[in-house]
Amino acid sequence: MHRTALVVGASGIGGSSVARELIANGWIAYGLARQPKHDVAGLRPVAADLLDPASLAAALHGVAPTHVFITTWMRRATEAENIAVNAAMVRNLLAALAPRKTVRHVALVTGLKHYLGPFDAYATSGTLPDTPLRESQPRLPVENFYYAQEDEVYAAAERDRFTWSIHRPHTVIGRAVGNAMNLGTTLAVYASICKETGRPFQFPGSAAQWNGLSDVTDARMLARQLVWAADTDAARNEAFNIVNGDLFRWSWLWGRLADWFGVPAVGFTGSVQPLEAIMASDHALWREMAERHGLAEPALDRLASAWHTDLDLGRPLEVMTDMARSRKLGFAAYQATDESFFDLFAQLRAERLIP
């Protein structure tokens, strides 16, 4: 049957991976962003601002997707503002597509903040959620832009008669430049700076994260689950966690990451050591390193998002994720987590994004 995908947020860490997976599976795929990049071969760019209904209508003229993959968000200072902006993006998009009546399925990527709470109250207020996190856990009694985005999808699905799936990754490990949250690239840049300066590769996070069990989501796994759900009748109208499928402790992984770069690892030393402070004065150094090593991106803050890595690794609880729901329906993909990082580091080096 004819299928055309619209990947929304196609230059992001999740969206670009989804676009690649769709094209590898023979889909026709359009990729929407305000400034679409041209680095996914075969992806048809659509330039539009989701907050500007007029630009959206004009840009989507002639695009008739059967499947929509929403992998976008904007960060605002408070959760109330996050809700206003991120719900509007979903609402505007689905309203712009509604008159065409071509959409059969909408997949929305949110994340584990569904269970942990928004950045305003991230895993700190009230009772910490039970782990492993399960899709059946009820919403938290705090406002959350993910809930608002889900509600927009549910309302439009009812109105326009399409099916939906919700996908909740943990920290996404993948390649993106200039995006908001990228732990893998942040650690790659930090380790490269350690290598250059002889500084130790210091774990920045909490005791709970150092010692506890954890998992992450390779962007390729996220992409596989989105495409699987789009193709699987039994996956209609469900929310799914998506992680690599193995468990690890940062106390195990940290030294392996350090070894890849050939830098000395220092583990948890009794207190959180925020990376944002450690890297605050490295901007000029990175420009010099870019010059010296012929790197493609001299702006440190287009590669590293230390604020987000600090939030992730500083959490006061171990966080891991149950994968039973999609596995029971036949989603069998698996990814070793150390190789998620090593593959990303090798790609960043091959693209001259790190030395």
**Residues designated catalytic:** 113, 146
Token pair 């580091």 is found at: 345
| Cβ nearer to ligand NAP, comparing 46 with 263 | 46
Residue 187: CB minimum distance to ligand NAP, A: 12
Residue 11: CB minimum distance to ligand NAP, A: 4
CB atoms within 10 A of CB 133: 21
| Number of residue whose CB is nearest ligand NAP | 12
CB atoms within 10 A of CB 81: 13
Q: How far apart are CA 156 and CA 83, in angstroms?
A: 17
Residue 163: CB minimum distance to ligand NAP, A: 20
The kind and range of the H/E element at 47 are strand 44-47
Q: For 54, phi and psi rounded to 5 degrees?
A: -70, -45
| Cβ nearer to ligand NAP, comparing 160 with 312 | 312
Residue 35: CB minimum distance to ligand NAP, A: 4
Q: For residues 255 and 265, is the Cβ–Cβ distance under 8 A?
A: yes
Q: How far apart are CA 255 and CA 267, in angstroms?
A: 8
Residues 6+ apart with CB under 8 A from 305: 179, 180, 181, 182, 183, 186
Residue 160: CB minimum distance to ligand NAP, A: 21
| Cβ nearer to ligand NAP, comparing 110 with 192 | 110
- Amino acid letter for position 264: P
Q: Give contact residues for ligand NAP (rule: CB under 6 A).
A: 9-15, 33-35, 49-51, 71-74, 89, 109-111, 169, 171-172, 176, 179-181
Q: What tokens were used for 5?
A: 């995908």
